[in-house]
Amino acid sequence: MRIFKPQYSKLLDEELMVMLGKGDKRAFDEVYKRYSQPLFGYFMKLLARDNEKCEDMVHDLFAKIIRKPEYFDTSRSFRTWVYSVASNMCKNEYKRMAVRKNVKSDLEPAEFLKSHEDTLKTVHEKRFSDRLQAQLEEMDEKHKSVFVLRHFDGFSMKEIAEALEINEGTVKSRLFYATKTLASALKEFNPIYQ
Amino acid sequence: MEEKYIELLAKTDYDALTVDEKEMLKELCTNQSEFEEARQLMKELSALDSEPDLFDSRKVKKRLDEEFAEVYASRGGGWINFLFPPLKPIMNRPGIQLAMVLVLFIGSYLVLELMDFNNTKTVQLAKNENKLLIEDEEEAIDSEIDENSMLDEKKMGDKGRENNVLKTELILTPKVDIPIDPQETIVVIDDLISEEFIEGGRIHEDFIALEFEASRSDFTAAKDNATETIKFLIPTVQESPDLLDGLFVTF
């Protein structure tokens, strides 16, 4: 039994999961604080930016963690594990929805202009982001997830391989393919072509 | 190593790449224009990294908190979670380990208890058996002694002194030079012993030894008074058959 409460912010994800498994609410709060936003971003990129759907996905993922913390193998990295769960959830969602195209919950143009009317740079970023999202949606799931994990969630090749349960060579191959495809599709943003 | 491609795309011009670096990037870009496209994509992506998605975290959190309270309230108190933490493998849970130790302890205690009980029982049985044997032996010895002493008393009473003298005389006969057939004398001795067997059953060893000692001393005395004995032994059995009366000797 601990006499003093641990500093949750300094604990490792895996330690927090052990405490969460014992019913420590503060450990859960810390895990949620660390991962809710990145996971939401991950779902947003993979699920056509359906805000409501992505919120539900985040909720479902954390509900799984609450109800079945024993599913997490403490010898593994929590980060890769939680993203592998998220990735599987996305696969299931794809299967359920069959084809998800153009379900974007884009902000209305007026709203967009209202909030981003300051600089041209912001407009450019917004345009690029939208186009990128559109291209990602057209891409198949296996290339998209590798690309998102690498460039949006900052995973290393090894972590991606672990999270998606594929070998590193495959990760590299998929990542290069996705990058090449997107780079080609988004070349309009390259100043050379403008 | 694979991570190096981002660095290469960000900083290097395609023409400045070495053969090895080009080899590494060949899957991504094989010429200047592809390299530029990829490079531009990386730039745009790094600019997008800081863009947060709009996420109403509190709404989701509230739902999750309710769920957490519901789940862990139903799982019981802190002690249950301490003894059976769900994240640990079954054999590593303190409750399971404690139960195993208890089972081991109780099991060992029962086994030891059973072994001790068996030992006590065996020892007790052996003791009882020994005691009975000793008692039987003692009883047998006592009865033998009683019988022998009774026989002895009876014999002594019946034959009196005469018989004793005769016995001594008969035993000593071959030693002294008497004019009788030695075989006949031996038969008499044998018969005397057989008589004792017939009358008294088995003779106790001590008793025989004592008798032998007595006979020996008699023999010594007889030898010392050889002349006297010879004189005394002059009447042989052949000459005076009436001497054998009352001796139960059969020929």
Asked if the C-beta of B38 comes within 8 angstroms of chain A's C-beta atoms, the answer is yes
What's the CA dihedral at B218, B220, B221, B224 to 10 degrees? 160
Global pTM value:
0.50
What pLDDT, on a 0 to 100 scale, did the predictor assign at position B153?
73
What pLDDT, on a 0 to 100 scale, did the predictor assign at position B144?
81
**Residue pair A36/A57 in contact by the 8 Å Cβ criterion:** no
Phi and psi angles of residue A75, each rounded to the nearest 5 degrees, phi first = -80, -10
Q: Which residues of chain B have pLDDT under 70?
A: 1-3, 11-12, 48-53, 74-78, 81, 85-88, 156-212, 215, 219, 222-237, 243-251
Which chain B residues have a beta carbon less than 8 Å from that of A179?
28, 38, 41
Q: Report CB contact under 8 Å: B28, A17.
A: no
Which structure tokens are listed for A158? 């090894």
Smallest Cβ distance to A72: which of B82, B85, B87?
A: B87
Q: Which of A76-85, A161-170, B228-237, B239-248 has the lowest mean pLDDT?
A: B228-237
What pLDDT, on a 0 to 100 scale, did the predictor assign at position A109?
42
Mean pLDDT of chain A: 79
Q: Report CB contact under 8 Å: A129, B48.
A: yes
Asked if the C-beta of B3 comes within 8 angstroms of chain A's C-beta atoms, the answer is yes
Give the range with max mean pLDDT: A116-130, A166-180, B140-154.
A166-180
**B72 closest CA partner among A68, A156, A93, A191:** A68
A-chain residue closest to B27, CA distance: A176
B-chain residue closest to A61, CA distance: B64
What pLDDT, on a 0 to 100 scale, did the predictor assign at position A61?
93
ipTM: 0.70
Asked if the C-beta of B45 comes within 8 angstroms of chain A's C-beta atoms, the answer is yes
What pLDDT, on a 0 to 100 scale, did the predictor assign at position B189?
53
Q: Report CB contact under 8 Å: B3, A157.
A: yes
Q: What is the pLDDT of residues A37-62, one digit of tens each?
A: 888 888 888 876 678 888 899 999 99
How many angstroms separate the CA atoms of B129 and B250, rounded? Answer: 46
What pLDDT, on a 0 to 100 scale, did the predictor assign at position B233?
55
Which chain A residues have a beta carbon less than 8 Å from that of B56?
55
